[in-house]
Structure 1
C-alpha cells in the first residue's frame, strides 16, 4: 500500500540505541587507509558512550523502506520539531533588531553573557510570578540542550546521579561524557554508576522514591519526555523533601511546562524549599517554535549552596562567562516579544493546535484498544504494545502505515514495549496518520 501524503518532522539526533547495521571493515583495509596517528588516546568517557544513536538507525530503516517503496510518502511523527510558523509580532521584533545592526545608532556588539536584562526580567515576571525568582538568577542561553551540558560542567564528575526511566537521553549522555556514568552494561542497557528510577503508568510515571537510593544529583523532567506526564504538586513536594533529606540537587527540566493544562506545577520553584535544592532548565523551543532559532534559560537560585556554603550561582556565572558569549541579541529580541500580550496570546493558540493534534492521536490509539498515556499536559503520546519490542512496533507501523515514530527503548530500558508519537505536525498529517493507523493496526 502506497501513501501519497508527505509530512516531515525531524527525527531525534540524541537518542541512543544499539545499531543493527554492521559498518565494520577488515583490519587490513583499515591499516591500508591509515597513514598517520597522533599519540593522543581517545577519551575513555567518549568510549563509554552508546555505540549508536537512534537517528542514523531510524534513517537507515526509513531509507531502506523508501528504496523498496519508491512511491510511498512517509508521515514523520518522530521528534517534536515544531511545524507551525512563529507569530509575526515575534519575527518582526527579530527582523527589526537585525536591520538595526546596519545603522550606527542601532548597532550592538557583545551583550551580557547572562542575557539581556529586559528578557531576564520578563521571564522572571511572566513565568515565575510569585515564586521569588530574581532576574539575576536567570541565565539566558542558546537552548536547554546546551545548558544541560553546562550544568554538568558545574558539578564534579565524581558525583552520583539518578534519572527517570524512561526519560530524555541527553542527561545520561552528557553524564557519560563528563565521566559520571561508568561503563555500559550491554545486557541491561544501563550505565553502571547511574541509578535508574523506574517510572510506570500505575504512579503516573513518577518514581518510587522509597526504593530510590541516595544520589548526589537527580535529573527530573516534567512534563516528561517521552511519556508526556506531568508530576503533581504532591509528587514534587515528595521530590524536594527527598532531595533535602539526602543533601541532593535536582536538575529540573521544564521545557514543556507551557503545555500543562491542569493544576500540575509548571516550575519546581512552586514548591516551598525548592530554591535550596534545585536548578531549573527551560527553553523557548517548544512553546515558541524556536527549535531552529535557539533560545533557552537556566535558573540557579542564590539559596543553592555547596557543602562548604559557597553559592553555586557564582560558579555557574563563571562557567557561562568562560564558555559562552551570550545568546544572539536578535534572538533575544524575539524572546522578549514572546512575552508581549499579543505574542503570548498567539503562542497559546499555536500550543492549543498541537494539543488538539495530540487529542486526535490519543483517540486513534484508544479506538484500537491500546493503552495510551500523555497527550494532555505535553505534546507526546506514549503508547503501550505489550508483548512486542519497541523496534517491532516501529517496523510494523513503518511497513504497514508508512509512518515514522520513535521506539521507546531509545529513552532507556523502561521504554521497552512503547512507542512515542509526536503531536508536532500539520493537521492534515495527523488526520492522515489517524486514518492509516486505524486501517492497519
Structure 2
C-alpha cells in the first residue's frame, strides 16, 4: 500500500500566498465592480528590459537553426552565464567566486527550498522570525521541524530568532546553537538590511560553531546605501561557512522566465564532507537546467546596456517604495523598510491582527497586502506592502489607505 510523507500533514493550513489568492478571488466574485489594487504578492509589473528582449529573440532564432540549436542545458549551467556572473556580480565587488562554484537554476525559491536535501535530518535549523515561508516549510516537509504548536505558532524543533522593532528587526545569536542558519538581507518581509560589521559577526559565529549560513541575497540589487554588503562573500571567512542564493526574478523582472543561481565555494564542508559535489550530484539528478534562451537572457542582464536599463527599473520600483512608505506614515501608520528593499513593513492599527487588517483593507479600500503572521509568529500585528505595482495604481492605493 502506498503511503504519504506525513511531515506534510504538520504544515498548518495552505501556503500563505494561496490563501491570499483564494480570499481575493472570493471577494472579486462577490464584488465584480471593485477595482482591486494588489500590493501583496511580489510579482513585478514592468516589462522585461529591451536589451534582454533583444537577446531573447536572437536566442529563439538560434533554436530554429540546425547549426545553433541547443538541447538539454549543462547540469550546472552554461559556461557563458556562469563566467559572466563570476566576473560581473562578484569580482566587481571584490569577491573571488569562480564560475564553477555557481550553479544555475530556475530561481532562488527552488534553491532555498531544495538546498536542505544535502543536509542530514539531525541538523538544527535557525530562522529569522518573521521570515520567507519557504525556509521553514521545506524543512518541515523534510522532517526537521518537530510538531507544530498552535498556541505559539512555532514548530518545536525549529530555532526562531525574533526580529522585532525592539531589536531593529535584526536577529540575535540564539541560546541554542544551530547547524543551519537562514539569513535573508535585504529582508523579506521587513525590508531591513544588515550592515557589513553585523554580517561579519554572523560569519564568525558560524565558523566558530561549525554552522552553515544559507544566505538569501535575492534583493541585493535594491541596496542603495553605502556600507551594506551585496554578498556574504564580502565578509572574511564566508567561503568556509556560507551558501548564497540569488535571483533574476525581482532584479531583472524574470518572474515569468524563472532564473537564479546558488553559490557553493569549493572548500565549504559539513560533517567532514565537501558540499560542492553533493549539490552538483543533486543538480545533475533532479534538475534539467534553465533553458538556453533564458540563460542567454540572464547573460544580457549583466551587459552594460542591460545593467543601465535594469537599474532604471529598480529605481522605478524604489520610487514606488518611497511613495508607499511616506504615504502610510502620513496616514498615521508606523512603517519600516522601503529604502534598500522593495518591501514596506507596516504596523497594523488598533491592535488588529494581521488577517483582520487584511480583510479590512480589502473590504474598505480594495487594496491587497500580505498579513505579517504568514511570515511567522513575530509577524503578527504587522503587514507587508510591496512596491512592484505600476505608479498609477500605487498612488491610488495609498490615497485609498489615507482615507480609511
What per-residue deviation string (whole Å, max 9, x for no partner) do you get for residues 268-320 of structure 1?
Answer: 10000011000001110001000110000000001211232x32101111111
**1:124 and 2:86 are equivalent in the alignment:** yes
1:432: Cα distance to partner?
Answer: 0.5
Indicate the RMSD between aligned Cα atoms, in angstroms: 1.3
1:41: Cα distance to partner?
Answer: 2.0
**1:267 and 2:267 are equivalent in the alignment:** no
Q: Please, which runs of 5 or more residues in structure 1 have no aligned partner?
A: 1-38
Question: Which structure is larger by alpha-carbon Rg, 1 or 2?
Answer: 1
1:396: Cα distance to partner?
Answer: 1.4
1:344 corresponds, among 301, 307, 311, to 307
Distance 1:265 1:235 in 2: 10
CA gap 1:41/1:385 in 2 versus in 1, 3 angstroms: same
Assess if the C-alpha contact under 8 Å between 2:17 and 2:41 holds in 1. no
1:305 corresponds, among 256, 269, 273, to 269
Match of 1:431 in 2: 395
Match of 1:372 in 2: 335
**1:174 and 2:138 are equivalent in the alignment:** yes
Match of 1:91 in 2: 53
**1:357 and 2:320 are equivalent in the alignment:** yes
Match of 1:104 in 2: 66
Distance 2:314 2:45 in 1: 11
Secondary structure at 2:151 match in 1: coil
What per-residue deviation string (whole Å, max 9, x for no partner) do you get for residues 85-116 of structure 1?
Answer: 11121012112111111112111222311111
What per-residue deviation string (whole Å, max 9, x for no partner) do you get for residues 312-368 of structure 1?
Answer: 101111111111122110100000000110001100000000000000000111102
Secondary structure at 1:128 match in 2: helix
1:68: Cα distance to partner?
Answer: 4.0
The correspondence of residues 47-66 of structure 1 with structure 2, limited to 5 A, is 47-66=9-28
Secondary structure at 1:197 match in 2: strand
Secondary structure at 2:58 match in 1: helix
Give 1 or 2: higher helix fraction. 2
Match of 1:199 in 2: 163
Match of 1:253 in 2: 216
TM-score, normalised relative to structure 1? 0.88
Number of equivalences:
400
Match of 2:373 in 1: 409
Q: Please, which runs of 5 or more residues in structure 2 have no aligned partner?
A: none
Secondary structure at 1:180 match in 2: coil
**1:225 and 2:188 are equivalent in the alignment:** yes
The correspondence of residues 281-296 of structure 1 with structure 2, limited to 5 A, is 281-296=245-260
TM-score, normalised relative to structure 2? 0.96
**1:186 and 2:150 are equivalent in the alignment:** yes
Match of 1:324 in 2: 287
